[in-house]
Amino acid sequence: MKALWTAAAAALGAAAFGLSRPGVRETLREDLDTVRRRDPAATNDFVSLISYPGMHAIWAHRGLHKLWQHDATKVPARLMSQAVRTLTGVEIHPGATIGRRFFIDHANGVVIGETSEIGDDVMLYHQVTLGGTSMEQTKRHPTLGNHVLVGSGAKILGPVVVGDNSSVGANAVVVKDVAADSSAVGIPATVRPKKSGKTAAPEAGTAAGAASAAVTEDKKSKYADFELVDPAIWI
């Protein structure tokens, strides 16, 4: 019992120290804004703070990625990333490089391999794998550009590149490069230019449509700098 209290006090102390640093507070604010942009169900920052395992996994990864840069701390980083997987259901290798405003919705079952590179404003759903196809210790995992969306259950395998603003459909298996501004769907995935002007919002004129439009307007005004249109945002 005493050990539990000590651990809780240490965690609170670490949190207080972190929050006393302006950079940490800014990053936390950005993360919470990202949750709000990405998930229409997120309306309360306190609830978001404690109930998004995808965000917790990303926080842990930021620290573990720093440890991974030094030979002496590679092993602890790897072991701790396994503990994070147990707690969050998300396995991110500490060697993976991840940009800003990354978001994993529903989180469970996501695997991100060691040499994966992920740009800014990328979103993954649950059960996504960014996996390797080679046993060599080389660049063997995917590279995702900026503003990429990867649907639930999609597998992206090998050192392929998914270009900026592209989407990978739910359950697709991508084994070749995906051009920018494209959608990749199916097994093996076929790549096609994104259909423009398409929205997954409920029909206008219905009660659901009106409610959705109000939420959209609200989100637009708050987050006008946000450009990626997530076709699955209404699901």
Ligand X SMILES: CC(C)(COP(=O)(O)OP(=O)(O)OC[C@H]1O[C@@H](n2cnc3c(N)ncnc32)[C@H](O)[C@@H]1OP(=O)(O)O)[C@@H](O)C(=O)NCCC(=O)NCCS
The residues binding ligand X (CB under 6 A) are 106, 125, 149, 151-152, 167, 169-171, 183, 185-186, 194-195, 198, 231-232, 235
Q: How far apart are CA 150 and CA 123, in angstroms?
A: 6
Q: What is the DSSP string of 20-57?
A: TSHHHHHHHHHHHHHHHHH-TT---HHHHHHH-HHHHH
Nearer Cβ to ligand X (94/163): 163
CB 156 within 8 A of CB 162: yes
Q: How far apart are CA 15 and CA 205, in angstroms?
A: 47
Q: How far is the CB of 10 from ligand X (least distance, A)?
A: 36
Q: How far is the CB of 172 from ligand X (least distance, A)?
A: 6
Q: How far is the CB of 189 from ligand X (least distance, A)?
A: 9
Task: Of 85, 49, 81, give the one whose Cα is nearest residue 65.
Answer: 81
β-strands 161-162, 149-150 pairing:
unpaired
Q: How far is the CB of 231 from ligand X (least distance, A)?
A: 5
Nearer Cβ to ligand X (41/211): 41
Nearer Cβ to ligand X (68/125): 125
Nearer Cβ to ligand X (2/195): 195
Q: Look up tokens 């395992």; give the residue.
A: 53
Q: How far is the CB of 175 from ligand X (least distance, A)?
A: 15
Scanning 20-168, the segments in alpha helix (DSSP H) are 22-38, 45-51, 53-68, 74-88
Q: How far is the CB of 130 from ligand X (least distance, A)?
A: 15
Judged by phi (left if over 0) then psi (alpha if -120 to 50, else beta), residue 160 lies in beta
Q: Look up tokens 């945002």; give the residue.
A: 233
Q: How far apart are CA 64 and CA 78, in angstroms?
A: 8
